[in-house]
Chains A and B, each alone.
Chain A
Amino acid sequence: MEFKDNIPIYLQIEQYLYRQIAMGKLKAGEKIPSVRKLAVELTVNVNTVQRALQQMNDQGILYTKRGEGNFVTEDTDLLKQTKQSLIDGQLEQFVQNMMRLGLKKEELVPALSKYLEGNKNERPTNN
């Protein structure tokens, strides 16, 4: 994974794990890879991974079993909330970018519908 060098790496690791969870690659109650394994996988410092996991523990999205490692929470409401905030974040970026291009709020939904319609026609097999 490539990291942006002007954003704290621990925040990017958090985002990466949140996405893994939201996409279902890491499931509720599942054990996440060990700190060192994650560090090698992402080519980052062990301390940085630890900081990210600590924050996610504090937020309740992960929990630690002593001597066993870190697990994804089984609190489905929290998982839903987490996914929703990822979606909100993406939507916010989308809206900001569109408004920078000069679209008004009321033009967003028609523009998006038109795009989705067009896409459907071009690639009918690709839903």
Chain B
Amino acid sequence: MKDLLTIKDLSYKKNQKLILRDVNLSLKPGKIVALLGENGAGKTTLMRIIAGVAKNYKGSVTLKDTNDVAKRKSFLSFTDGLTGFSESTKIGDVVNFYVNIFNDFDENEFDELRKFMKLDPDMKLSQLSRGIREKLIIALNFARQADLYLLDEPFAGIDPMARKRIINSIILWKSEQSTILISDHFVDQIAALLDEVVVIKNNTVFAHKTADKIREEHKSIEEYYEGLYEGEDE
């Protein structure tokens, strides 16, 4: 099968500090992939580069055969924590913004997701708990008909019920051809969901393996991930 995303020899510095170097990564369509790594390893930076938000990197990022950043952005969905909105914005107004900006944003689909997530459109962003905010972000993402969804730590600091909802929404709403990249710094909560695991370590893609391969070697994904850090000081 043809690659959906191909990253070649990518390096990125910020304020002369090396964040990523020699990153090579290919993802196929239709997969659920975990992007793992410690805090500060560069997971968010890599997502921001793929999303076309972080610029001035070296190397190439190709999505659906194009290197063009504007085209790439139209093929993918990445929500940067809703940081662009003032905290007094109502959910309904965030949705209107999305309708205007993204041609592939489907309002009916969002409505289904909103009901599934039990979100009240009249609530303001300032009123949302961590879990509800994450549910909103996921609903906004999946209401778009994208080829690649970039979910940046959707499970950080949320309660188990919200997590269960989000996981079920992924199973229900992910289309057959779309790929989801989910970053997290621990893996056990989403392990059963994964097709592949990508680990960022030492400023690069240190490992990329399918979940089935890892388990065929009688390891859990968690053991595999922890094994990559063995013999290192905490």
Instruction: Give A contacts to B, CB under 8 Å.
Output: 3-10, 36, 39-40, 42-48, 51
Whether the Cβ atoms of A47 and B220 lie closer than 8 Å is: no
B52 close to chain A: CB less than 8 A? no
Partner of B168 from the list A40, A45, A47 (CB cut-off 8 Å) is A40
Whether the Cβ atoms of B193 and A43 lie closer than 8 Å is: yes
- Additional 18 contacts, C-beta under 8 A, given A36-B172, A43-B168: A4-B220, A5-B188, A5-B221, A6-B219, A6-B220, A8-B215, A9-B192, A9-B211, A9-B212, A40-B172, A43-B164, A43-B167, A44-B192, A45-B32, A45-B193, A47-B31, A47-B32, A47-B195
Whether the Cβ atoms of B192 and A3 lie closer than 8 Å is: yes
Task: Name the CB-closest residue of A to B221.
Answer: A5
| Closest chain B CB from A42 CB (angstroms) | 8
| Closest chain A CB from B134 CB (angstroms) | 18
Whether the Cβ atoms of A45 and B195 lie closer than 8 Å is: yes
B174 close to chain A: CB less than 8 A? yes
Interface of B is mostly: helix
Q: A6-B219, A6-B223 are in contact. Are A45 and B191 (CB under 8 A)?
A: no
Whether the Cβ atoms of B220 and A44 lie closer than 8 Å is: no
Interface centre among A3, A46, A48 (most CB of B within 10 A): A46
Whether the Cβ atoms of A8 and B172 lie closer than 8 Å is: no
Q: A36-B171, A46-B174 are in contact. Are A5 and B212 (CB under 8 A)?
A: no
Instruction: Give B contacts to A, CB under 8 Å.
Output: 30-32, 164, 167-168, 171-172, 174, 176, 188, 191-195, 211-212, 215-216, 218-223
Residues of A within 8 A of B31 (CB): 47
Whether the Cβ atoms of A45 and B216 lie closer than 8 Å is: no
A6 CA to B192 CA, complexed, in Å: 10
